[in-house]
Chain A
Amino acid sequence: MSTQVPQQTDETDAETEPDAAEEPSKGDLRREKKAERAAEREREAEAAENAAAGGNTRELKVFRFDPEIEGKQEPRFDEFHVPFEKGMTVLDALIYARDTYDSSLTFRHSCRQAVCGSDAMFVNGQQRLACKTQLSELSEPVRVEPLPHADVRKDLVVDMEHFYDQMDAVEPFFDADELPEDELAEQRQSRQNREKVKMSTRCIWCGACMSSCNIAAGDNQYLGPAALNKAYRFAMDDREGEARKQERLEIIEQEHGVWRCQTQFSCTEVCPKDIPLTEHIQELKREAVKNNLKFW
């Protein structure tokens, strides 16, 4: 069954102006333009339908679930046939399906260019950013599911609260021991140091790594790859100073911190920003060992 709300009838039918002037009034002009636009929309829809008939479509199987609507409480997969265009991403296809077939299809998206990190999904068995995944690279039917190991709120939307909690737990903000005399003075970083943390600064908080991690799935207290990467970014920053680094190391070397990583490389494989997460976690492990074993 469809949960779509029946479309409202066009406003133009409802209102008619009482006095018919000889010259076309502004309202008439407006209505004319509106009719033109409507016709254009119709043509577009027709073109899409023709394309669909022509066979150049892609089949999407999309996970549907909504606890608040009776017919959707039992999760199911809906099929959508979307006319394919060159350069079409999974997100484009989802937007088309939502705008054309079912306005109740729910998913997060914002910038559509892999910057905001809203649309991490489980596409054809892997965590990917929908806006960064080309349809042409996927085998059909394209299965789109919400991120695994997270609670599904509705359709493709998952609860990110736990992920954000873990991110906050590592205190993800720059906090130097000593501030410069002049409040407005720059706190400069060496080129080498910048290069060291460069990749770790690219995290967009999409949660793909956390979802792919087998350990994070079984251990809710585990900080997870994204948070540990964040910790790496600040622990390795030379400008913060020894005392702050000690505090940071204490957070990451706790029981459910860095030691839970089993080097499965799942997070590194799925990261849409190509951050070498496992490498960073391993480096933090070595850092923690060096910090606790001192022979001098």
Chain B
Amino acid sequence: MSQSHNRGLIEDFGRWREFRAGMWAWIFHKFTGWVLVGYLFTHIAVLSTAIPASGQETAVLQAGDDVYTQTIVTLEELLLVRILEVGLLAVAVFHILNGTRLLFIDLGVGLESQDKSFYASLILTGLITVASVPTFLAGAF
């Protein structure tokens, strides 16, 4: 019997130009999900500095010289962190909106307009992100 030509799986993402709405929604949902998981760990790491800080003197705490306050202040001084925060908001908002979309899909509601709801969640994410920029970047420059 003839052997066959297996084109493998590697070509798949090479076809990204041909992906439709549902596929993009899935990819973005996975991506934002992993970003949020990653953020969760950094978030825990930063907040954990509050544990040694709680043991410090009251005077130090009031002066804002403790580890926790110093960590937060240092991070917030960085422009990169401010920009990342905008990105984090975008990621979270998309994950929430698309998650709601998936919920409706699981309930069997509006499956015919699944592409439109994806575009709507994208646009809404964009609007909310743009609106959040002044808040996040205030005093960064």
Contact = CB atoms under 8 A, between A and B. Distances in A.
Interface of A: 65, 67-68, 75, 125-126, 148, 151-154, 159, 214, 217-218, 262-266, 268-269, 276, 278-279, 282-283, 285-286
Given A217-B9, A217-B12, A282-B108, A264 B2 contact: no
Contacts of B6: 151-152
A159 B4 contact: yes
A248 B4 CA distance: 34
B12 to A, nearest CB: 7
A154 B1 CA distance: 12
B108 A283 contact: yes
A234 B44 CA distance: 50
Contacts of B20: 265-266, 269
Contacts, number: 71
Interface stretch (B21-29, B45-53, B76-84): B21-29
A152 B5 contact: yes
Interface residues of B, number: 27
Contact of A125 (B18, B111, B115): B18
Contact of B102 (A65, A68, A159, A263): A263
Contact of B12 (A214, A279, A283): A214
Interface of chain A, main secondary structure: mixed
Interface string B8-52: 010110010110111101100000000000000000000000000
B48 to A, nearest CB: 35
B106 A265 contact: no
Interface of B: 2-7, 9, 11-12, 15, 17-18, 20-23, 25-26, 102, 105-108, 111-112, 114-115
Contacts of B106: 263, 282, 285-286
A148 B11 CA distance: 9
A285 B105 CA distance: 11
B108 A214 contact: no
22 contacts: A65-B5, A67-B5, A125-B15, A151-B5, A152-B6, A159-B4, A262-B26, A263-B22, A263-B26, A263-B114, A264-B23, A264-B25, A265-B23, A265-B114, A266-B23, A268-B22, A269-B20, A276-B111, A276-B112, A278-B105, A286-B106, A286-B107
B34 to A, nearest CB: 15
Nearest to B102: A263
A162 to B, nearest CB: 11
Given A153-B4, A283-B108, 9 more contacts: A67-B5, A68-B2, A125-B15, A125-B18, A148-B7, A151-B5, A159-B4, A265-B20, A279-B108
Contacts of B114: 263, 265, 278
Contacts of A285: 106
Contact of A286 (B4, B12, B108): B108
B22 to A, nearest CB: 3
B111 A152 contact: no
Contact of A75 (B3, B5, B17, B18): B5
Given A218-B9, A263-B26, A279-B108, A67 B4 contact: yes
Nearest to A124: B18
A151 B9 CA distance: 12
Contact of A278 (B5, B15, B111): B111
B72 to A, nearest CB: 38
Given A68-B2, A217-B12, A263-B105, A126 B23 contact: no
